[in-house]
Structure 1
Amino acid sequence: MKLLIVDDDKLVCQSLQLLLGKERDLEVISTASNGEEAIELCKREKPDVILMDIQMPVMDGIESTKRIKENWPTIQIMMLTTFQDERNIRLALKAGAEGYLLKSASIENMAQQIRALKAGSVILDGDVLKTITEPDTAALEGLTERETEIVELIAQGLSNKEIAAQLYLSVGTVRNMITIILDKLEIRDRTQLAIYYWQRVK
């Protein structure tokens, strides 16, 4: 898996390049110090996953994420930052980021989350989830209360089996309801459904 690290702190870039590079399935192909450099590197290197800081000179991570997703939608972006305020979290997800991880995460956890992101999961750090808990579920118009509950649990990373256990439903019922929800919202999969949820709750 090819990684691009984007951070204006050279020490952070060097440390992540060294430590993540020790993982057999991860290859740090390059580093960038701002969003503009990241876009240029995407043109040449076509990374699989980008670890993107938020606050950087020239072009910040959120604007860079938006432009990269517009041009290369298959490149997956994990925001890697010290910021866990609600505004930045929501702006990053709205820009198209599939993950939001804090720099305090261990390298082992970071590597696991990168793999999960590449496999199609939406990754939100536990502290980040706490920042945006108790959302206004009424924001999901067109869904029933139970359907909205299911979307919220999907956004929190629960599997169909875990959702079924929490809501006292069968796995088959949960699966059928998710199909109905995807059809109602015209969304193709549960990953996009989770992103849709976090973009819209208040």
Structure 2
Amino acid sequence: MNILIVDDDALVCQSLELLLGNEDDFTVVGTANNGREALVQIEKKAPDLVLMDIRMPEMDGIESTKEIKSRWPEMLIMMLTTFQDEQNIRLALQAGAEGYLLKSTAVANMAKQIRALSAGSSVLDADVLKQLVKPHADALAGLTKRESEIAECIAQGLSNKEIAAHLFLSVGTVRNTLSVILDKLELRDRTQLAIYYWKHQTNR
């Protein structure tokens, strides 16, 4: 997997490039110090995934993510930041990011989460999840109780096998129910479902 690292801290870029570069299935194809540089690097290097900081000069991670998604919709973006406030989490997901990890994440776990993201799962750090509240009743009101349970599990990054074990269902039932949920909400895949789930949040 080809990865581009975007962070205005040169030491962070160098550290991540070294550490992630030691993973057999990862290749760090470049680094960028802000969102504008990221766009240039993507044009040149065509990475599979971008590790994106939020607060950066010239163009921040949120604006850069919006621009990347408008130009390269299939590009995977993992926000990697020290910020875990609810506003930044929501803005990142709304901009199109598929994952949100904290820089305090151990490299081994970060590599695991990057692989999960590449495999089609959404990734939200456990501490980040705590910032998000339960979904608004209206947003997912069309789902049955079982469908809602499965949607929540998917939003938490669980695989079909893990959901089946958690809810005492067969993997086939989880797969079929997921298809029904996607049809009801007019979504394409489980990543879109997870993002939809967390976008439609409010206090109640």
Q: Please tell me the TM-score bracket, short chain as reference.
A: over 0.9
Which structure 2 residues correspond to residues 1-202 of structure 1 after superposition, within 5 A?
1-202=1-202
Aligned-pair identity (%):
68
* Deviates further, 137-146 or 33-42: 137-146
Instruction: Return the alpha-carbon distance in structure 1 between the equivalents of residues 201 and 92 of structure 2.
Output: 14
For the Cα contact (< 8 Å) 1:120–1:191, is it kept in 2?
Answer: yes
Deviations 1:26-74 (A, max 9, x none): 1111111111111111111110111000001101101100110111112
**Residue 169 of structure 1: CA displacement?**
4.2
- TM-score calculated relative to the size of structure 2: 0.92
* Deviates further, 58-67 or 107-116: 107-116
Instruction: Return the alpha-carbon distance in structure 2 between the equivalents of residues 28 and 166 of structure 1.
Output: 36
Q: Secondary structure at the match of 2:47?
A: coil
**Residue 96 of structure 1: CA displacement?**
0.7
AA at the equivalent of 1:132: L
* Deviates further, 56-65 or 182-191: 182-191
Q: Secondary structure at the match of 1:20?
A: helix
Evaluate the alpha carbon distance shift between residue 137 and residue 164 of structure 1 in structure 2; reply closer, same or farther with a 3 A threshold.
farther
Evaluate the alpha carbon distance shift between residue 145 and residue 22 of structure 1 in structure 2; reply closer, same or farther with a 3 A threshold.
same
AA at the equivalent of 2:40: E
* Deviates further, 127-136 or 137-146: 137-146
Instruction: Return the alpha-carbon distance in structure 2 between the equivalents of residues 129 and 137 of structure 1.
Output: 18
Instruction: Return the alpha-carbon distance in structure 1 between the equivalents of residues 140 and 110 of structure 2.
Output: 31
Unpaired runs of 5+ residues, structure 2, are none
For the Cα contact (< 8 Å) 2:65–2:77, is it kept in 1?
Answer: yes
For the Cα contact (< 8 Å) 1:13–1:31, is it kept in 2?
Answer: yes
Deviations 1:142-184 (A, max 9, x none): 3234322221121112233443444454444333222111111
**Residue 78 of structure 1: CA displacement?**
0.3
Unpaired runs of 5+ residues, structure 1, are none
For the Cα contact (< 8 Å) 1:6–1:38, is it kept in 2?
Answer: yes
AA at the equivalent of 1:79: M
Evaluate the alpha carbon distance shift between residue 22 and residue 183 of structure 1 in structure 2; reply closer, same or farther with a 3 A threshold.
same
* Deviates further, 34-43 or 153-162: 153-162
For the Cα contact (< 8 Å) 2:2–2:27, is it kept in 1?
Answer: yes
For the Cα contact (< 8 Å) 2:133–2:201, is it kept in 1?
Answer: no
AA at the equivalent of 2:64: S
For the Cα contact (< 8 Å) 2:51–2:77, is it kept in 1?
Answer: yes
Q: Give the count of matched residue pairs.
A: 202
